[in-house]
Copies of this chain bind each other. A is one copy, B any other.
Amino acid sequence: MLLAKVRGTVVSTCKEPSLRGVKFLLVQLLSDTGEPLPDYEVAADVVGAGINEWVLISRGSGARQHEGYVDRPVDATVVAIVDTVSLASGSLYSKREDLS
């Protein structure tokens, strides 16, 4: 999985039928120091993540391991909202402090 930050939403009316009801978030990938990388993903959201929250994204077939998603043409999914990232060198991120 990779760390990412929610930046916005992508809306589509004309899409593969099984994608109806799937919410697409544009998430920015983060480096291991928490800086935004040039890479992003448009990921399905199965955890209700909000703007600016740090999340974990799973890609590839892992992105479809969720009830009702096995047959959907999705290759990236937001699978967790991050509470804390703790490194040996110290705390990298804490949701509580980030939002305060």
Residue of B11, B26, B88 near A52 (CB, 8 A) is: B88
Q: A64's closest neighbor in chain B, by CB?
A: B62
Q: Flag A49-71 by CB within 8 Å of B: 1 or 0 each.
A: 00110001011111111100001
Check B10–A84 contact: CB distance below 8 A.
yes
* Size of A's binding interface in residues, CB under 8 A: 59
B42, A38: Cβ atoms closer than 8 Å: no
Q: Which residue of B lies closest to A52 (CB)?
A: B88
Pick from B18, B31, B61, B82: contact of A38, CB below 8 A.
B31
Q: How long is the Cα–Cα vector from A87 to B28 in the complex, in angstroms?
A: 11
Report the minimum CB–CB distance from A46 to chain B (whole Å): 6
